Amino acid sequence: MSKRKALGKGLSALIPEAQPLEDRDERFLLCPVDAIEPNPNQPRRDFGEMELNEMAESVRENGVITPLVVTRTERGYQIIAGERRWRAAQRAGLDRVPVVVREATATESLELAIIENIHRKDLNPIEEALAYQRLLEEIGTTQETLGKRLGKDRSTIANLLRLLTLPPLIQKDVIDGRLSMGHARVIAGIKAGSEQMALRDLAIKKGLSVRQLEALAQRRAPRVRSRNKENERALLMRDLGEDLKRRLGTKVELKAQGKRGRIIIHYYSDEELERLLELLP
């Protein structure tokens, strides 16, 4: 199988889990932490202090269980996947960490880093949008082709890229969690910058839901109302589903039936069920 096809399989293409270590072609190396450098194209920009401290404590107790994926450079090794584990290992005072060495170009490293972060639900919407934008520029492909390579719908990528047209302050609100992707998508549908900021202020001050903000936007700017209300509602439900996936870290389905519907939350082990029950009120 070619390297290009392997990219679309995500982490399983990087570290096959089905075979015993001695039967694999790749070899785990214990690499000096100081010989590893982060990837300057890493799509994730925000590594929370509390999150890193918690992971560092786990690393002190258990070590780094999942190896980093790195590529060789003239200075040593550069991270393809696993920067958070590397940072935690540094904080924990480890001298060496397990790595798997892969040969990859800068563009392939970026693509693999995006796959890992999407898989782990690590990217906020703005980070994800910036990563897609960079890939589109470097690869010179279409949103539809990129979506197929990453296992994403073209519309999902298009909606994320629209967030990059928002003013920097509103993008920062999304990064910091003051506004969800659904809120941001509604605001991005407004052309006037002053009106965008007004809706932003109301959404945050009054704690408006996405549906409430959408209704308000339509009342204040009826000309920007979607011509296809059914399509607009489908986009809204998709955005709400994406927000829930990010918050819960698992597959979530929204099944709308008129004004009613169902939310289906998937779990894949008893441990994951316990984790979800702790998150849900």
Q: pLDDT 10s digit of each residue in the chain, 281 long?
A: 333 333 444 434 443 332 333 334 456 788 899 999 888 776 666 666 777 788 888 888 888 888 888 888 888 888 888 888 888 898 999 989 999 888 877 777 777 777 766 666 667 888 888 888 888 887 778 888 888 877 778 888 888 899 999 999 999 999 888 999 889 989 998 888 888 999 999 999 999 998 899 888 888 765 444 444 555 666 667 767 777 776 777 778 777 777 778 888 888 777 777 777 777 76
**Same-domain check for residues 199 and 110:** no
Is the residue at 114 inside a domain?
yes
- Provide the domain count of the chain: 2
Is the residue at 138 inside a domain?
no
Domain containing residue 103: CATH number: 3.90.1530.10
Nearest to 9 by CA among 82, 118, 88: 118
Domain with 79, as residue range(s), is 3-119
**Same-domain check for residues 202 and 259:** yes
The pLDDT of residue 124: 83
Is the residue at 141 inside a domain?
no
**Same-domain check for residues 111 and 22:** yes
Is the residue at 156 inside a domain?
no
The pLDDT of residue 243: 72
The conformational region for residue 30 under phi > 0 = left, psi -120 to 50 = alpha, else beta, is: beta
The pLDDT of residue 184: 92
Is the residue at 160 inside a domain?
no
The pLDDT of residue 206: 92
Nearest to 55 by CA among 25, 89, 29: 89
Beta bridge partners of 91: none
**Same-domain check for residues 77 and 181:** no
**Same-domain check for residues 275 and 171:** yes
C-alpha 51/C-alpha 49 separation (Å) is: 5
SS3 category, 99 = strand
**Same-domain check for residues 105 and 186:** no
Let me know: does 99 contact 105? Beta carbons within 8 Å. no
* The last residue of a domain, from among 103, 119, 135: 119
**Same-domain check for residues 170 and 96:** no
Is the residue at 271 inside a domain?
yes
Is the residue at 177 inside a domain?
yes
**Same-domain check for residues 115 and 200:** no
Q: Which amino acid is at 9?
A: K
Domain containing residue 257: CATH number: 1.10.10
**Same-domain check for residues 98 and 203:** no
Is the residue at 216 inside a domain?
yes
Indicate which residues carry an active-site annotation. Answer: 83
C-alpha 180/C-alpha 242 separation (Å) is: 10
**Same-domain check for residues 94 and 176:** no
**Same-domain check for residues 179 and 241:** yes
Structure pTM? Answer: 0.55
* The last residue of a domain, from among 119, 154, 176: 119
**Same-domain check for residues 8 and 104:** yes
Biggest distance spanned by C-alpha atoms of the chain = 65
* The last residue of a domain, from among 97, 119, 141: 119
